[in-house]
Amino acid sequence: MSNAVSRLVITVALAPIVLGAAYFGTWWMFALVALAAAIALHEYMMMARVLAPLAPAAYIGVALALVGA
C-alpha cells in the first residue's frame, strides 16, 4: 500500500472521531488534544532516547501546558 493510500485510510477512519469531539464540545476536544499530545511526546521521546532522563519532566510540562491553555 502506498503512502497516499494509507494516509487516506487513516484520515477516513479518524475524521469521525475528530468531528465528534468538535461537535460534543470543549472537554471532548481537550481529551482528544491531550491524547494526541501524549502520543506525539511519546514518539518524540522514543526517537530522542538520549533525552530519556527528561521524559517525566516533558510529560509534566505538556500536561501543565494543556491545563494552562
> Which class for 41: exposed (0-12), middle (13-18), buried (19 or more C-beta within 10 A)?
middle
**Contact by Cβ (8 Å): 37, 20:** no
H helices of 1-69, in order, are 3-24, 26-47, 55-68
Give, for all 69 residues of the chain, the pLDDT tens digit. Answer: 688 898 899 899 999 999 999 999 889 999 999 999 999 999 998 888 887 788 889 899 999 999 998
Q: Looking at residue 49, what is its pLDDT?
A: 83
Full-model pTM: 0.74
Angle (CA) 18-22-26 rounded to 5° is 125
Domain count, the chain: 1
| Domain of 57, in residue numbers | 3-68
Q: Looking at residue 29, what is its pLDDT?
A: 92
Q: Looking at residue 21, what is its pLDDT?
A: 92
Q: Looking at residue 1, what is its pLDDT?
A: 66
**Contact by Cβ (8 Å): 51, 45:** yes
